[in-house]
Structure 1
Amino acid sequence: MTVLDDRALGRATLARQLLLERAGLPAEDAIAHLGGLQAQEPQEPFTGLWSRLRAFEPSHLSGLLTGRRVVRTHLMRRTVHLLTAGDALDWRSRHESMLRQRVLGVYRGELAGVDLGELAAAGRAVMADGEPRTMSELLQTVEKRWPAAGQWPAAGQRRRALGEMLIPALVPAAQIPPRGLWRTRAGVRHVLLSAWLGREITPPAPHGTDPVGQALVRRYLAAYGPATSADLRAWCGLAGLPAAIAALREELVSFRDERGRELLDLPDAPRPDPGTPAPVRFLPAFDNAVLGYQYRGRIIDDAHRGLSVAGERVVLVDGRVGATWTTGRDATLTITPLRRLSRTERSDVAEQGEALASFLSDGDSDRVEFAEDP
């Protein structure tokens, strides 16, 4: 069985993630290809798409959100993702059990004595009129049925647990605009996902079948492969996909990584030569290219792995995380190298940083500065 080292896997990741060469795709098609973009930080997807698409304009994504073709909702790993309307509706039921179990894993004690069916019904009743609701407004209505015993902080934890179980685990909801629009600051307001998108959520498949699970496997490998089954689970958070993988075995190809683990892939998916040059790319916080794997060594060193979950924005240099970046109030983009950069690398990073600074400031700034090399 062919062995793929980290460099080969990294180049495949860049190609699948539209980071080896910017794609000439509409934003909606790119979001679909990527299986969504992690989006708990509302402005970050704009950078993610700018780094991946040739002619991306912020208005493209804002228009998709207001036009209800793309939606912000909790899904993979119980985090907020930006998904196409079709994917959000088709995938939601498959994720429901995982969403509940993840909340219970944190708040089982606080939710003791709460009938989850009754809580779900209460939440849906409040939202049935289609009016946008903040979490506080929802909780003011439903928590009277499950009063918290004692004083703060116990009462506060109970309230938080009710909110996190209500949305997203029990009531599929969309976070509606203006949240998530370009250069817009807005709080979270919830509307039932089916009401916002004008179509009911795809119901669970009959027992013994899993077409959504198989679709998730194919879509994941198209955007992230070659990858292990553990990588797949790390991306979506779902535990019940071995049967879906088994059902697809005959149409997949297998490799091994340097650690002997089996890698699965689609037969005709791109696997570039490991020597393929990789351009500098600036990634937003929590980008899929880093977080979409259980083993992230294909793109980030173990010493810097914590950056990926701390919300640091990173710079890919020769296909690997080589720096972090921030923006200040004066629109200056500051780059902090994680290793010593060569003169050519430094020049390439500065050039791409200036282009990003101009994009983020609507052309009012292209200022870039470097912190000292380590």
Structure 2
Amino acid sequence: MVIELSWPQVSARRLERAGLNGRPPGPTGPDVARPDAAGSDAAGPVAAVAAMCGAHAQVMSAAEASIGLRLPGVTRAAVREALWSERTLVKTYGPRGTVHLLPARDLPIWVSALSSAPAATPVATGDVRMTGEQTEQVVEAIGKAVTGAALTIDELSEAVVAATGPWAADLVMPAFQTYWPRWRQAMALAAHRGAFVFGPVRGRKVTYTAPPDAPPVTDGLARLVTSYLTAYGPATPEDFARWAGGPVRWAGEGFGAVELEEVLFEGRRAWVLAGDTAVPEEPPRGVRLLPYFDAYVVAGRPRELLYAGEAAARALAGGQAGNFPVLLVDGNVAGVWHQRRSGNRIDITVEPLRDLTAGRSRELEEQVERLGEVLEARPRLTIGPVTVGAHA
């Protein structure tokens, strides 16, 4: 008999597992391939990042907020310590080829999973595109260059060109009103192959270095599907493919490698891990502020349920989630917000899409105070229209 699940039930389940229901995230579900429930990582940044299947880190302050808002008492300093001092987190290209923070101990799973995806159709035109042989040369050169070193992009570029040939240096890739050398189109692929991770910032310059030593795994795709379904199920292979940035057929292979259970989610067929059908008894409640590209909204599907009504027009950018920081009320997107920092002050403007009760207003004020703690600044709240457009 197929279990039927409603949106409020699934919303409450996802919030609980994301650590957005007032309690820190932790391992849930049968045979979860996520952090162990022991040791210092069990209630810290590593556990939070693992529970959300990676923290989007193109905007680093947003990644720090995503993690800190899920963990009582944790500030951006703890995230930075885990990333640069303890090295229990790594910064690299993750799902969809975008920059993420990932648990260092899970990196072999991600490398195994993402490197197994068939190569995407190149978007570069013929005079920009690299051949398969050139791409392999670049990936190998990157891995060799960062071994035992932390290189800036200019230093890495010099090493790659020296190892491959002058063709790699051709300035043919349009990027931010300038042009990048040809070889840089292979950066995400090289990261997915485990050639490098981001290193500590040198002054204001990003560096790249070798990933931490760890034995490889061969079942990464199945384990990534397991973590994804634990956090964001019920879901379909199509949902996973959009989230991970791979083809549906590849996603289907991952689903086929895991023991699943079919459910009806708001009338559509979807899947959870076998035996993992439990949902909280209470419906979703509470007010949350989620920053740019928070994993919860990026992975949250169907969009029409999470971004119901006016929220779809106001808080999505061409159907894409994450380009606006959002106000979450009782599990649904109910507004947008923006922060502007000046010294040790943060001005936070929140634009609700509906009137907030007195209780919800107090919860919002508490979220603003907590955000200030996370980002180590004094916050000031303004309720009103957000005039800043979507983040690219």
Same fold, TM-score > 0.5, yes or no: yes
SS of the residue corresponding to residue 137 of structure 2 reads: helix
SS of the residue corresponding to residue 22 of structure 1 reads: coil
**Rounded Cα–Cα distance in structure 2 between residues aligned with 1:148 and 1:218:** 38
Identity among equivalent pairs (%) = 25
Aligned residue in 2 for 1:214: 222
8 Å contact kept, 2:112–2:220:
no
1:267 maps to which of 257, 266, 275: 275
**Rounded Cα–Cα distance in structure 2 between residues aligned with 1:26 and 1:283:** 18
TM superposition shift of 1:56? 1.8
SS of the residue corresponding to residue 175 of structure 1 reads: strand
TM superposition shift of 1:162? 1.7
Structure 2: 5+ residue runs without aligned partners? 26-42, 388-392
Q: More strand per residue: 1 or 2?
A: 2
SS of the residue corresponding to residue 267 of structure 1 reads: coil
8 Å contact kept, 1:253–1:267:
yes
Q: Quick check: 1:320 aligned with 2:332? A: yes
**Rounded Cα–Cα distance in structure 1 between residues aligned with 2:245 and 2:102:** 16
| Aligned counterparts, 1:208-287, within 5 A | 211-239=219-247, 240-249=250-259, 252-268=260-276, 270-273=278-281, 275-287=282-294
SS of the residue corresponding to residue 151 of structure 2 reads: coil
**Rounded Cα–Cα distance in structure 1 between residues aligned with 2:93 and 2:174:** 26
8 Å contact kept, 1:14–1:20:
yes
| TM-score where L is the length of structure 1 | 0.82
1:75 maps to which of 62, 85, 94: 94
Aligned residue in 2 for 1:182: none
**Rounded Cα–Cα distance in structure 2 between residues aligned with 1:293 and 1:277:** 15
| Aligned counterparts, 1:112-131, within 5 A | 112-113=130-131, 115-128=134-147, 130-131=148-149
Aligned residue in 1 for 2:361: 346
SS of the residue corresponding to residue 115 of structure 1 reads: helix
**Rounded Cα–Cα distance in structure 1 between residues aligned with 2:51 and 2:15:** 13
Q: What is the one-letter code of the residue matched to 1:241?
A: A
Shift of the 105–343 alpha-carbon distance from structure 1 to 2, 3 Å rule, reads farther
Aligned residue in 2 for 1:111: 129
**Rounded Cα–Cα distance in structure 2 between residues aligned with 1:36 and 1:157:** 30
Aligned residue in 1 for 2:40: none
| TM-score where L is the length of structure 2 | 0.78
Instruction: Output one character per residue of 1:229-261: Cα deviation in whole Å (capped at 9) or x when no partner.
Output: 222222222331323323433xx3221123523
TM superposition shift of 1:373? 10
Aligned residue in 2 for 1:176: 199
TM superposition shift of 1:35? 2.2
SS of the residue corresponding to residue 276 of structure 1 reads: coil
Instruction: Output one character per residue of 1:10-68: Cα deviation in whole Å (capped at 9) or x when no partner.
Output: 22211121112221722222222322211111122221122212232333222211221
TM superposition shift of 1:219? 1.1
TM superposition shift of 1:309? 4.0
8 Å contact kept, 1:123–1:171:
no
TM superposition shift of 1:285? 0.8
Return 42-51 or 264-273, whichever deviates more: 264-273
Root-mean-square deviation over aligned CA pairs: 3.2
| Aligned counterparts, 1:130-169, within 5 A | 130-143=148-161, 145-147=165-167, 159-169=180-190
8 Å contact kept, 1:340–1:373:
no
**Rounded Cα–Cα distance in structure 1 between residues aligned with 2:155 and 2:179:** 16
Shift of the 219–310 alpha-carbon distance from structure 1 to 2, 3 Å rule, reads closer
| Aligned counterparts, 1:91-106, within 5 A | 91-98=110-117, 101-102=119-120, 104-106=121-123
Shift of the 357–235 alpha-carbon distance from structure 1 to 2, 3 Å rule, reads same
Q: What is the one-letter code of the residue matched to 1:319?
A: G
8 Å contact kept, 1:120–1:171:
no
Shift of the 97–222 alpha-carbon distance from structure 1 to 2, 3 Å rule, reads closer
1:305 maps to which of 316, 330, 334: 316
Shift of the 5–247 alpha-carbon distance from structure 1 to 2, 3 Å rule, reads same
**Rounded Cα–Cα distance in structure 2 between residues aligned with 1:280 and 1:150:** 50
SS of the residue corresponding to residue 365 of structure 2 reads: helix
Aligned residue in 1 for 2:16: 15
Q: Quick check: 1:3 aligned with 2:23? A: no
Aligned residue in 2 for 1:208: none
8 Å contact kept, 2:316–2:322:
no
Aligned residue in 2 for 1:355: 370
**Rounded Cα–Cα distance in structure 2 between residues aligned with 1:228 and 1:279:** 28
**Rounded Cα–Cα distance in structure 2 between residues aligned with 1:229 and 1:151:** 38
8 Å contact kept, 1:337–1:373:
no
Shift of the 268–125 alpha-carbon distance from structure 1 to 2, 3 Å rule, reads closer
8 Å contact kept, 2:76–2:376:
no
For these two proteins, the number of residue pairs brought into alignment is 351
8 Å contact kept, 1:7–1:298:
no
Shift of the 4–297 alpha-carbon distance from structure 1 to 2, 3 Å rule, reads farther
Shift of the 318–112 alpha-carbon distance from structure 1 to 2, 3 Å rule, reads same
**Rounded Cα–Cα distance in structure 2 between residues aligned with 1:88 and 1:148:** 28
Q: What is the one-letter code of the residue matched to 2:275?
A: P
Shift of the 93–344 alpha-carbon distance from structure 1 to 2, 3 Å rule, reads same
